[in-house]
Amino acid sequence: MDKDVSQRELVRAIESEMKRAFIDYSMSVIMSRALPDVRDGLKPVHRRILYAMHEMGLTHEKPYKKSARIVGETLGKYHPHGDQAVYDALARMAQDFSLRYPLVDGQGNFGSVDGDSPAAMRYTEARMAKITKLMLQDIEKDTVDWMDNFDGSLKEPEVLPAALPNLLVNGSSGIAVGMATNMAPHNLSEVVDGIIAVIDREDIEVNELMGIIKGPDFPTGGIIYGREGILNAYSTGRGLVRVRARTEIEGEERKRIIVTELPYQVNKANLLQNIAELVKNKRIEGISDLRDESDRKGMRIVIELKRDAIEDVVLNQLFEHTDLQSTFGILNLAIVDGEPKVLTLKELIQHYIRYRVEVITRRTNFDLRKAEEKIHILEGLMIALKNIDEVIKIIRGSKEVEEARNRLMERFSLSEKQAKAILEMRLQKLTGLEMESVEKDYNDTKQLIERLRELLSSKQNILDEIKGELLEIKDKFGDERRTEIVEGEIGIELEDLIPVQDVVVTITNSGYIKRIPVETYKTQHRGGKGLVGMQTKEEDIVVDSFITSTHDYIMFFTNHGKAYWLKGYRIPEGGRHSKGKAIINLLPRLEEGEFVETAIPIHEFDDEHYLVFVTKKGLIKKTMLSAYKNVRVNGIRAIKLDEDDELIGTKLSDGKQNIIIASANGQACRFSEKEVRPMGRITRGVIGMRLDPDDKVVSLAVVGEEGDLLTITENGYGKRTSVSEYRKTHRGSKGVRTIITNERNGKVIFVKEVKDDDEIMLTSKDGMMIRVPVGDIRRQGRNTMGVRIMRLNEGDKIVSAAKVVKNNDYDESE
């Protein structure tokens, strides 16, 4: 016994056995469960359900039968899997919000757009929908191959004849192992026209096809915005389509938003719950009431607005934060010749045409065989009827049927089948009318054979037959498009609803950012102590602040040399005492040790301005501003840096100014910007200033021929010095002294070009901020110590300075 068992053992490495078993499993899922066949657009479970219903005679004109009966028939004969899985598949084919053209006509509760489950299968009833007859049409005419069912007791079709282009009109979705499919539904009338166009012109381009098949047509309607995603899906098999709900505004004094159509596959109940939570959490304001007034006549979601609410603002917030706007990812993956393949729109159509050519060819050959067999019998009957007296004499004179058959075959040169048909002929055939009927039947069959042979004589004839059948389908089942497609955004964009406002943006070294209206800060005189501009933790200091507009772009440059940009209104607004929001939430993928070094407000990315970069080691680079207009979400490389170098400053320039690079030890190097040739975005730059070993670059200024240069030290001292006092050197020199650096002044932190009517905003590491008129700061020579600009608490130091754009609208008196 033990010996027999050991002889049956098969020793394998577990890793190889697991690999083999998983591959077998994954292929089974791909081929037998999750992906549709390109020919009929069905997965095996749906195909078996429809064939079981066909065998049960559940056509659209027959009475409904219990769903449990259909499920049992499918399970017992063809699909030995879970009964609930089969019922779910049956129910989905009956849902008019899931399939553009439902294949099952259900009676009872088959689920809803609210996510309700279908009633138990013992309660619901079903039959095939009227359009489903197209899926099984001619299946008995040897149009498809057959295979054994799971136990070999029955035969089932490998694929349905599918005169209906089901995969195109109803789409499909499924998750296999390592792959998934998500195919969009389309309008039948457009699909028929598209197929005919491909038949007529094999070289038709995708753009021309899009003029016929305009895009997905979802059963729930909605509005598709833009055609780029559709074009990608049709030309590559992959694409993203943005769909919005259909909405309208009602009411005079009290406005309300009415939603009548939802994006495809959006759960209405979950949507309403999500809106309610957003209103409760005050992420969406202006909504006073929310109710669902949907009934059997259609969908109607009512969103009541408050009296002071702007309906377009609320609507755009709903689109941004809820599934009233969603993205449908198209992936046209189907089984082609036994293998999964991603298909373009044209390829999907070509596979349908190729399959229908095969089906019609097999159907025609079947009909031809049957017609030839029939006319053969009719020829024998006509011979017998013309010689009826002799035939009767031969039959009466024969002792046995076999003798009569053989004598008839010999006398009239008949085949065995013809002789048998004569012997089985009823006496009523001997009447005059019946004789005429046989002759007419013979002539009709002869004409049928000629037509069938003509049909098989060329592929073009078969293609014409396909076109004719498609036009009949369109005439009978075609309908209007439900999903509207618009070229671009319609209505007011969220940005258009944001007021243009000057704001102060602050960034801390711990990565917090916020914006505050400029009018929050009062103008003070030199020596004032300022207002608290930010509540910071002890270890958190403000590293940058600047003035910008809510509608301007803000470019962020990190010490690692990467660039990002945001619109001003995207930065969260805060009060003077709030710490702001973590910048990582706005500028993703910052590396460890990476922080924002410079932020520049930019109104427009053009070819007339440049970005000038300076690094800690004194390198400089100039690049055209337009090279940075396509900043990706994850940022782009702004400058190539050595391993031990960092980006210290970035300035905007028109390319005709002078550059001043300032060092911590109080040196300043002035040279013409023209000495720095424009370079590409991902370059290292050239030497801008030569530094002593213990020195480093701390600031960059872009200046003209006139004006003042403001120098600020970390201990709150500074001065204005005429730019003309800084003699021009050349790029790569050590420069001249800009201010005396000693124990009182400390190191230099910033150098900026200023005018008499400018104002500056200083920020200390403890978060104190002050606005000071530049006119209050004394002019002094280069080699001087400067005057006190800001009184600091003990241990506090200035970390940031920003020049305020003069605007009387937000200035306030002392």
The torsion angles phi and psi of 461, rounded to 5 degrees, stand at -60, -40
- Nearest-10 crossing angle of helices 388-396, 345-386: 80
The torsion angles phi and psi of 157, rounded to 5 degrees, stand at -75, 140
User: Is residue 101 a contact partner of residue 188, using CB atoms and an 8 Å limit?
Assistant: yes
Distance linking the first and last C-alpha atoms of the chain: 105
Q: Return the biggest CA–CA distance within the chain.
A: 146
* Burial of residue 212, with CB atoms counted within 10 A of its CB: 0-12 exposed, 13-18 middle, 19 or more buried: middle
Instruction: Identify whether 442 is a catalytic site residue.
Output: no
Which segments within 580-653 are labelled E, that is strand?
A: 581-582, 596-602, 610-615, 619-624, 636-637, 647-653
Name the nearest CA neighbour of 613 among 595, 600, 631, 601. 600
Question: CA–CA separation, 182 vs 772, rounded Å?
Answer: 61
Torsion sign over Cα 798, 802, 806, 812: negative
The torsion angles phi and psi of 115, rounded to 5 degrees, stand at 90, 5
User: Is residue 527 a contact partner of residue 563, using CB atoms and an 8 Å limit?
Assistant: no
Give DSSP secondary structure letters for 710-738. Answer: EEEETTSEEEEEEGGGS----TTS--EE-
Q: At 690, is the secondary structure helix, strand, or coil?
A: coil
Residues 6+ apart with CB under 8 A from 731: 620, 659, 669, 671, 675, 676, 686, 687, 688
Residues 6+ apart with CB under 8 A from 497: 310, 312, 313, 316
Question: What stretches of 283-387 show up as alpha helix (H) in DSSP?
Answer: 311-321, 345-386
Question: CA–CA separation, 244 vs 323, rounded Å?
Answer: 8
Pairing of strands 717-722, 736-737: unpaired
Name the nearest CA neighbour of 451 among 376, 374, 357, 367. 367
Catalytic residue among 78, 101, 123, 355: 123
Q: At 419, is the secondary structure helix, strand, or coil?
A: helix
Question: CA–CA separation, 232 vs 330, rounded Å?
Answer: 9
Any bridge partners for residue 553, and if so which? 567, 602
Question: CA–CA separation, 51 vs 94, rounded Å?
Answer: 16
Question: CA–CA separation, 661 vs 649, rounded Å?
Answer: 9
Give DSSP secondary structure letters for 502-550. Answer: EEEEEEETTSEEEEEEGGGSPB--TT---EE-----TT--EEEEEEEET
User: Is residue 359 a contact partner of residue 138, using CB atoms and an 8 Å limit?
Assistant: yes
Question: Residues with catalytic annotation?
Answer: 123
